[in-house]
Structure 1
Amino acid sequence: MNIGIKAIEYFLPQKILSNADLAITFSGWTEEKIYNKTGIVNRHIANDDEYVSDLAYYAAKKLFENHSIEPKDIDFVILFTQSPDYNLPTTACILQDRLDIPKSAGAFDINLGCSAFIYGLAVAKSLINTNIAKNILLITAETYSKYINPGDKSVLTIFGDGAAAALISYDEISQIKEFDLGTNGSGAEHLIASSSGVRSKSKETNIQKDLYMNGPEIFNFTIDVVPKSIDNVLKKNNLTYDDIDFFVFHQANSYMLNHLRKKCNIPEHKFYVNMIDTGNTVSSTIPIALHQAEKEGRINRGDTVLLVGFGVGLSWGSTIIVW
């Protein structure tokens, strides 16, 4: 038996921030201009009283209900988020109770963003390989909107809130293969919410919403590391580009993705870009894209799919799965 992704579901908040809304807010920006720069028309935004645990809960409930999964069968909960309900206690513990998952299950949060789903697969696979768990609920959830200054169009036009839930377990067909993971913390300042932690509070800052992204630096970082990571993960799995049926990258923005596709010589029909109605949901973009691609018939059971995450950290990760 392999260790693989057995099912994925996702949840998006009902509130929508559209390009039409943004065009009204920012003079000189039209709906068309925003779409051409980002590939996004709508972003889902959490309400003021809606938090990561809520989004994660609804994603997990959809997973359980749509795939006949019993909460009692879950023996580990992993939540990847950079906007938890609290710094303590861990939001995964809150979810364990809210989802009626047994008290014998392990649970923890991991703070990682754009590459989170890849790292999550690595952690889940390791826990199963070492017989610590058998059925892992892997959740990615983010409410970056709570960090965003409403006057900062550089990030307001890109990020949306959302959550995804996946069951990682033994399977006859689906498989998670080897990984390539990497970190360059010297670039941490290029994508940061500097008032979100204890360090900023110790300086008595009054800034409440200050998500900052240095777009050109993130672009340069991505263009450098992603092709290398793909080459590394293909080598580790003894595969070539021709062996890959489909490529799913972190859905950062359409301009960056199309540039990467061309740089890596990936045919359009093998490459997924679809964030038009979700925006960049950070840790959840890859699982959401996988779910959408399957629904559209772009990937099918048994296909070999290469996944790449990259961004905040700075961090990156690649792996290959059999769907």
Structure 2
Amino acid sequence: MGLHARIQAIEYVLPTNTLTNEDLAREYPQWDVEKIFGKTGIHTRHVVDAGQCASDLAFGACEKLFKNSSIGREQIDFLILCTQSPDYALPATACVLQDRLGLPVTCGAFDFNQGCSGFIYGLGIAKGLIESGQACNVLLVTAETYSKYIHPGDKSVRTLFGDAAAATLVSAVKGDAPFLDRFRYGTDGSGADNLIVPMGGHRQPVMRSTAPIEHTDSSGNVRTDAHLYMNGPAIFEFSMSRVPQLFSSLFGENCRVDDIDFFVFHQANKFMLEALRRRLHIPTEKFVAEFSHCGNTVSSTIPIALKEHHAKGYLREGHKVVAVGFGVGYSWGGCVIHW
């Protein structure tokens, strides 16, 4: 019997401000409430205040985890923060969060910028730290404020994305077999331009003397190069191609599709998830959809879905879950979770 990494607790927080389908329908008269929900599967998104950052949401999720679990902050050996909307270019937001949470100074901490597959990558890193003997308790935090990147006139992404943070405790537990298993990853940077904020880094800095220029695409969406751009058809095509390949690679002699209790994919939107479910022949009752109340929260969608499904009594100890993340990068990853 050896030490294996296991998910011990998950908590998440959403900003108090909401953006409902009714709000959007008032701004975009050509889209009514039913049409928005029919396309996205989302009723409500939560968005941060102007002065609220990813670390504020991350702090709230971590404090909630400490309050509702038996772990003490002094027991955390490593803090991993996945975010594409950090507080600063430098230092790492994880370092700021370590101090704010009062974690030990012996605690390792770093950011990684991964997006929709970030939770899977984070679990893989946490597993590596624990099972190599470098840590016993890893706090994996996913926090995103995509609303800061979205132009108010761009309904193509404004209807989809919401802000959120999730805190997941991964700990060393004795066991005969892994609790986090069969990790698979993939990357295709040729698709980077299809989900991107072009300006803001050193490749295309935002100059104080020149404001980014607004432009309108053929669908009437308004944005600048300092805002989020998503090529929806290209992202859909990528997902329909890569996710089935990843899905197939997760199974083998000792792991069959029929053995899996639930499938938790990145909660992108209703249209894409339903297309994937049908393509992969996954029964509806095993396919988790827990995003109508918060939208696509990027790296936090999978932990939020896990937490919600467990809180509702569906996901119980001993269940096997296949988790799959995919999107911006392009990047994708999957694993098997023994709950």
Q: TM-score, normalised by structure 2?
A: 0.92
Q: Residue type matched to 1:95 in 2?
A: L
- The letter of the residue matching 1:262 is R
Q: Is the 8 A contact 2:55 2:86 kept in 1?
A: yes
Shift of 1:297: 1.7
Corresponding position: 1:138 with 2:144: no
Query: Could you say which residue in structure 2 is the equivalent of 1:55?
Result: 57
Amino acid at match of 2:179: Q
State the match for 2:307 in structure 1. Answer: 291
**Which letter does structure 2 place at the counterpart of 1:103?**
V
Aligned to 1:184: 188
Residues 148-163 of structure 1 mapped to structure 2, 5 A cutoff: 148-163=150-165
Per the TM alignment, residue 203 of structure 1 is displaced from its structure 2 partner at its CA by 7.1
Q: Tell me the secondary structure at the aligned position of residue 128 of structure 1.
A: helix
Instruction: Name 1:322's counterpart in structure 2.
Output: 338
- 1:3-61 superposed Cα distances (whole Å, 9 cap, x missing partner): 11111000100000011110011121101100000000100001001100100000000
169-178 or 181-190, larger mean C-alpha shift: 169-178
Q: Match of 2:262?
A: 246
Among 198, 201, 204, the alignment partner of 1:197 is 201
How far does the alpha carbon of each residue in 1:242-273 deviate from its partner, in whole angstroms, 9 at most, with x for none? 01111000000011001101110000110011
Instruction: Compute the displacement of 1:274 (Å).
Output: 2.0
Could you tell me whether the CA contact under 8 Å between 1:247 and 1:270 is conserved in 2?
yes
From 204, 214, 233, the counterpart of 2:250: 233
In the other structure, the counterpart of 1:257 is 273
Cα pair 1:6 1:171 within 8 Å, conserved: no
Tell me, yes or no, if structure 1 residue 210 matches structure 2 residue 210: no
- Supply the RMSD in Å over aligned alpha carbons: 1.4
Report the 3-state secondary structure (helix = DSSP H, G, I; strand = E; otherwise coil) of the residue aligned with 1:199: coil
Using the alignment, how far apart are the partners of 1:309 and 1:206 within structure 2?
Answer: 35
Aligned match of 2:217: none
**Shift of residue 196, structure 1, vs aligned partner:** 3.0
Distance 2:276 2:254 in 1: 22
Displacement of 1:275: 1.1
**1:276 aligns to 2:280 (yes or no):** no
Q: TM-score, normalised by structure 1?
A: 0.97
Larger mean CA deviation between 124-133 and 82-91 belongs to 124-133
2:316 aligned residue: 300
Shift of 1:314: 0.3
Q: Structure 1 144/202 Cα, relative in aligned 2: closer, same or farther at 3 Å?
A: closer
State the alpha-carbon separation in 1 of the partners of residues 131 and 68 from structure 2: 27
Report the AA paired with residue 221 of structure 1. Answer: F
Q: Deviations over 1:153-180 (max 9, x none)?
A: 0000000000000111123578101211
Identity %: 53
CA offset at residue 206 of structure 1? 2.8
Displaced runs of 4 or more, over 2 A = 171-174, 202-209
Aligned to 2:101: 99
The aligned length equals: 322
Q: Structure 1: give runs of 5+ residues left out of the alignment.
A: none
